[in-house]
Structure 1
């Protein structure tokens, strides 16, 4: 599912006019850097689609941690990227719902 989500992020990035090629490139290059075998696909793909760098120093449960960087810092992080990432998330959610409905209808049609 994480890899499919990454592919959906690329498709939605293309639909929104974001950098789909960059999303593909950064997903392939950086997804495996994430400590979660699944989380990196979404995070790296969003970073590539938006031309931003994610990761670095963070604080989790009161403990300072460092996570590998994902993406290239083509743009400075600004509040607008929160909105753009949210558009990507909503687009992927919608696309996944539509894809699931279509597949369900297809399977239902085959078995009824």
Structure 2
């Protein structure tokens, strides 16, 4: 489990409700599978005839805000526990890798969000 159950269970999650989270994931799956006319007829792409590009941009703003909140929570927990910090989920592991100075390829925040989503 990448994020843990706290984002899908009823709790005091102030960033999104489980219903909103479910809707965002359903919209993500829908938009990943649609056929956009602009992909097949490039000179019509700027018109966004089906409205998919607008929906994708709106969804990505919501997801980015959500992922920033998740990363912020995990970083705060890591700073609070310091020496007693134990990774509980994939986000914790990715944040630990991002802080590792010995890695050949440095993880950036956007890459961590992509891996969480993927």
TM-score (norm 1): 0.39
Which has a greater percent of strand? 1
Q: Larger C-alpha radius of gyration, 1 or 2?
A: 2
TM-score (norm 2): 0.37
